[in-house]
Amino acid sequence: MISSGSDKIKIYFYSSETNINNFKSLKMEFDRYLSRFGPYEFQPFSSRDVFEKQVKGKENCLLLLSSWHYRHIHKKYALTPALTGMRNGRKYQRKILVTGEKPADIEAKPGLVASASSLRYTTSVLKRMLQGKYAKDPFQALTVPKDIDAQMSVGFSTAKLAFASENAFDELKGVNPRLCSKMKIMAEGEETFRLILALPQGFTGNSKKTI
């Protein structure tokens, strides 16, 4: 049974790597799933700033966030990593920059880069990925719903480049192999952990059971 609202352990979620457009449905599905295990409540956020303001000083809660975001705030918020997400047996992922144009054309005029990630995350990863190569003519971001949409944007010439995951590129090979054959990986980022489940230092519940 779920206890009263004040006794619930909240799971705060914000991912800089995804663009979610239906938070109500997401919350309902997770709350329904979590209710089978105890007094948990899922609370997603669309804004990093609002998320950080909400979790500041909170102790009896869990945080679900990207590993990139975790690296930026774990010291300030005294967080401890407990779990990391996995896909096909792998806990690491890599972002790539894909294009259908010639490198020389991109260097001459970078243009739009389609991304399903937050602007802050996209800019940060691209900066490390490209090592200042286009500092004088930075990319402009086009926000799309999913990684595969970012790649399709390149296919339909809506954007010059797509910022997506290696997994999404592999998916495109299955969905549209013809389009994929016309695209090439222009740059690769470092391998990073997938989503991180973190606990505040002062978490008072039975953390082992909760995890």
The domain spans of the chain are 5-85+195-210, 92-192
Whole-angstrom distance, CA of residue 114 vs CA of residue 140: 9
Determine the pLDDT at residue 60: 87
Taking the CA atoms of residue 35, residue 40, residue 43 and residue 44 in that order, the dihedral angle to the nearest 10 degrees is -70
Residue 19 contacts by C-beta under 8 Å, 6 or more apart in sequence? 116, 117, 143, 144, 145, 146
Determine the pLDDT at residue 134: 60
Determine the pLDDT at residue 110: 66
Two structure tokens written together for 147? 């990684």
Determine the pLDDT at residue 36: 93
Determine the pLDDT at residue 188: 93
Two structure tokens written together for 207? 């953390």
Question: CB–CB of 93/99 below 8 Å?
Answer: no
Instruction: Count CB atoms within 10 A of the CB of residue 4.
Output: 7
Determine the pLDDT at residue 72: 95
Assigned CATH for 92-192:
3.40.190.10
pTM: 0.86
Whole-angstrom distance, CA of residue 98 vs CA of residue 92: 19
Which ranges of the chain have pLDDT less than 70? 1-6, 103-110, 132-138
Determine the pLDDT at residue 35: 93
Domains 5-85+195-210 and 92-192 share a fold: yes
H/E segment holding residue 92: strand 92-99
Determine the pLDDT at residue 86: 94
Determine the pLDDT at residue 132: 66
Task: Provide, for the chain, the percentages of residues in helix, strand and coil under a 3-state DSSP scheme, each rounded to the nearest 5.
Answer: 35, 30, 35
Determine the pLDDT at residue 116: 94
Q: How many residues does the chain have?
A: 211
Assigned CATH for 5-85+195-210:
3.40.190
